[in-house]
Amino acid sequence: MPDGNMLRELVTMQMPFGKYKGTVLKSLPVSYLEWFARTGFPKNKLGNLLQCLLEIKMNGLEDLLHQIEKLH
């Protein structure tokens, strides 16, 4: 289970590169996250966040992100 800091970053951090540069992570489409799953997530904090986001979206837990977003 992701910690609170990780969830906050998912609703505030922007994608730093690529097709979705500037998009808040929580708004990335599942297809993009699945592409990373197939080709390899970055080997850093961003990769961990993207893996977590994919799990959240695949398991229908996006309401967690909406709740965190309301707090900011």
In this predicted structure, what is the pLDDT of residue 63? Answer: 93
Q: One digit per residue, pLDDT tens: the chain, 72 residues?
A: 557 789 999 999 999 999 999 999 999 999 999 999 999 999 999 999 999 999 999 999 999 899 988 887
Q: Indicate the number of domains in the chain.
A: 1
Alpha-carbon distances of 33 from 62, 70, 71, 72, rounded to whole Å: 14, 24, 25, 24
Q: What is the pLDDT of residue 4?
A: 78
CB atoms within 10 A of CB 43: 8
- At 3 the pLDDT is 72
What is the structure's pLDDT at 2?
A: 56
- Host domain of residue 56: 4-71
Q: Bridge partners of 14?
A: 24
pTM over 0.75: yes
Task: For residue 14, give the 3-state DSSP assignment.
Answer: strand
Question: Alpha carbon 39 to chain centroid distance?
Answer: 16
